[in-house]
Amino acid sequence: MTSPSTGVVADLDLLLADLRELVEVESPSSDPTAVAASAEAVARVGERLLGSEPERILVDGVVHLRWRLGPGPTRVLVLGHHDTVWPLGTLTVHPFGVVDGVVRGPGCFDMKAGLVMAFHAVAALPGRDGVTILVTGDEEIGSPTSRALIESEATGTIAALVLEASADDGALKTARKGTSLYEVEVVGRAAHAGLDPEKGVNATLELAHQVHAVAALADATSGTTVTPTVTTAGTTANTVPATGRFAVDVRAWSQAELERVDAALRALSPALPGASVVVHGGINRPPLEESSSRHLFRRASALAERWGLPPVSAAAVGGASDGNFTAGVGVATLDGLGAVGGGAHAADEHVLVDRLVDRTVLLGALLADLLTEVPDDD
């Protein structure tokens, strides 16, 4: 399939072969060795298509890849990640395969298909000057080593195009909730549970009070969720627990809501005499607000209509991505440009084969259109 405006060509067999190459190198975020091996697989595919090696950027043991194309400054950032949530050995249970028009395999949808699409779209551009492709290796765990790199690469560009998988039915992601990640630690005092429990300060009871207080910070009217998740307390069955802790996941559509919840968490006070509460963590990703993506979505929609591609729709989603960071530094950002399919982070993860080509062509058309935009004079 070819975009008449750009000459961008997408070959389905080549897309699938390259996707297989990436999926069959497992890359759980928590395993630096596996992520490094995956980075080399991504580098091979990218070099083969783009004709140039990436810069390998090692930050705290995690490998990120960057292609800066052409001699000029970056005008458009193409952003993705190669790490996945799947542990080593998943391929033995869920191997790569293409059956009845559906691709399966760990990480195929989130988001190795998006990487392959990006390479093919950029490789087919009539001119690549001004495009930077950045592929990170720790997105699934909150981008602790890549956030500064992402924000630096995005700053000063006219657009960031994020190759995360699409929303339902192929919708582009025009808004994402911001996220905060916390651990609430409670400290009590140990004592023998049978002989003198009254001498202890029960961290489990304190934890229960704090879990209820934290959950009450959610606000359904504004779409803010505050969810206590993993919880631990105590050491043995016959000891009054001296410590406990629980994780908290916060999602909100606005920065103001993230900050409201952050202030409330930091103001938590113990309910039991002698107990203490310590809050770790904080705001992780700012929201990607609809205003950041509006004109890019309209542009993509117009291009799809002009060149007879499937129409695009928009979706606001609760999950965050590295697109939150690019929007957070004031760069126009359009997310969800990657594969159409479903089952991210689930056993039924899959990509629809018949949408790989048209989405790759749409990305190419959007890139070409953005690169023809006359830059503002400084």
For residues 249 and 109, membership in a common domain is answered with no
Q: Are residues 75 and 18 in the same domain?
A: yes
Whether 100 shows a pLDDT value over 60: the answer reads yes
> Residues 116, 255: one domain?
no
- Give the pTM: 0.88
Q: What is the CA radius of gyration of the chain?
A: 23
In terms of domains, do 84 and 134 share one? yes
Do 170 and 143 fall into the same domain? Answer: yes
Check which CATH number belongs to the domain holding 46 and give it: 3.40.630.10
pLDDT of residue 3: 45
Q: Is residue 326 part of a domain?
A: yes
Angle between helices 290-306 and 356-371 (to 10 degrees): 110
Residue 7 located in a structural domain:
no
Number of domains in the chain: 2
Q: Quick count: other Cβ atoms within 10 Å of Cβ 306?
A: 13
CATH of the domain at 244: 3.30.70.360
The pair of three-digit structure tokens given for residue 182, joined into one six-digit string: 């916390």
Closest Cα partner for 338 from 57, 126, 139? 139
Predicted confidence at residue 5, as pLDDT, reads 47
Does residue 96 carry a pLDDT above 50?
yes
Task: Identify the CA nearest to 337 among candidates 83, 117, 65.
Answer: 117
- Find the domain containing 279 and state its range: 178-285
Give the residue from 228, 258, 285 where a domain finishes: 285
- Residue 6 clears pLDDT 80, i.e. is over it: no
Question: How does DSSP assign 25-63, residue by residue?
Answer: S--BTT-HHHHHHHHHHHHHHHHHHHSSPPEEEEETTEE
In this structure, the answer to whether residues 292 and 220 fall within a common structural domain is no
**142 belongs to a structural domain:** yes
pLDDT above 80 for 341: yes
Let me know whether 35 and 159 are in one domain.
yes
Per the domain annotation, does 378 fall within a domain? no
Average pLDDT, integer, range 145-153: 98
Give the integer Cα–Cα distance in Å for 151 and 174.
19
Q: Is 266 contained in some domain? A: yes
Give the separation between CA 175 and CA 346, rounded to whole angstroms: 23
Residue 296: predicted pLDDT: 98
Asked if residue 297 and residue 163 are part of one domain, the reply reads yes
- Domain end, chosen from 226, 255, 285, is at 285
* Structure tokens that stand for 149 in this block: 């790199």
**Both 78 and 163 in a single domain?**
yes
pLDDT confidence band for 374 (50 / 70 / 90):
low
Question: Cα 98 from chain centroid?
Answer: 25
Q: Is 52 in the same domain as 67?
A: yes
Question: Tokens in use for 3?
Answer: 């975009």
Q: What is the pLDDT of residue 214?
A: 98
How much is the pLDDT for 4? 46
Distance of CA 345 to the CA centre of its chain: 12
- Both 294 and 279 in one domain: the answer is no
Q: Is residue 152 part of a domain?
A: yes
Query: Which of the four pLDDT bands, split at 50, 70 and 90, describes residue 72?
Result: confident
Tens of pLDDT along 267-324?
Answer: 999 999 999 999 999 999 999 999 999 999 999 999 999 999 999 999 999 989 999 9
Pairwise CA distance, residues 109 & 334, whole Å: 18
**Inside any domain, residue 136:** yes
pLDDT tier for residue 373 given thresholds of 50, 70 and 90: confident
Q: How far apart are CA 168 and CA 355, in angstroms?
A: 13
Indicate the residue among 258, 285, 312 that finishes a domain.
Answer: 285
- What's the pLDDT score for residue 9? 61
Give the confidence band of 376 by pLDDT, cuts at 50, 70, 90: low
- Encode pLDDT of 160-212 as tens digits: 999 999 999 999 999 999 999 999 999 999 999 999 999 999 999 999 999 99
Residue 3 falls within a domain, yes or no? no
User: Do residues 296 and 280 share a domain?
Assistant: no
